[in-house]
Chain A
Amino acid sequence: QVQLVQSGSELKKPGASVKVSCKASGYIFSNYVLNWVRQAPGQGLEWMGWINTNTGNPTYAQGLPGRFVFSLDTSVSTVYLEISSLKAEDTAVYYCARSTSDVGNYWGQGTLVAVSS
């Protein structure tokens, strides 16, 4: 069965970096794109972009700061979200989601990134 398993919660200080992982299983990794979606505490969903798991090419939502970088390691069927120079407003739950026909139908469990001094 399709599974996306994300890394655990992180507590970071402002200015630090974090790397969130999303490990896929149960399907051919390179056949489906993976999206990143975030949800600030008590807020709605925000699509951040996606990564082509065949080419490694990322597509970022307009306005997403360059501090956010998507990457992947096909050898372990894993995509990554790295956020540098963390700010308090980056505090959110970050989800990866696999798309079928452009809509995310399988989601990871979410990773809370909390930024606080």
Chain B
Amino acid sequence: DIQLTQSASTLSASVGDRVTITCRASQSINSWLAWYQQKAGKAPNLLIYKTSTLESGVPSRFSGSGSGTEFTLTISSLQPDDFATYYCHQYYTYPYTFGQGTRLDLK
């Protein structure tokens, strides 16, 4: 199975900060990586797919980059609504897998 390791389990930041979350894959997944945001008690919400394509309706402050085994999710200017948990997800090969999650909380 492909393991996805996110750079931090918890990240503390302030409104207006630029935040970057890294996701490393145990082997190349080309560009087949997505990012989800999940708030407590809610289903995950797709933010980005195929590494850098923004899902419809997602604010442009979210962006993704990377290829192969290293990927990043960047929030250019953190807003109050962005405090949540973020998961990377590979859909290159079965079994599809998720990173362990990064909880973004208020500093």
Contacts and interface: CB of A to CB of B under 8 A. Distances in A.
Interface of A: 37, 44-47, 49, 59, 61-63, 95, 97, 101-105, 107-110
Interface in B18-50: 32, 34, 36, 38, 42-46, 49-50
Interface of B: 1, 32, 34, 36, 38, 42-46, 49-50, 55, 87, 89, 91, 94-101
Contacts of B42: 109-110
B43 A108 contact: yes
B44 A107 contact: yes
A108 B44 CA distance: 9
Interface of B is mostly: loop
Contact of B98 (A46, A63, A102): A46
Contacts of A104: 44, 46
Contacts of A37: 44
Contacts of A63: 95
Contact of A95 (B43, B55, B96): B43
Given A102-B91, A103-B91, A47 B98 contact: yes
Given A44-B99, A62-B1, A108-B43, A102 B32 contact: yes
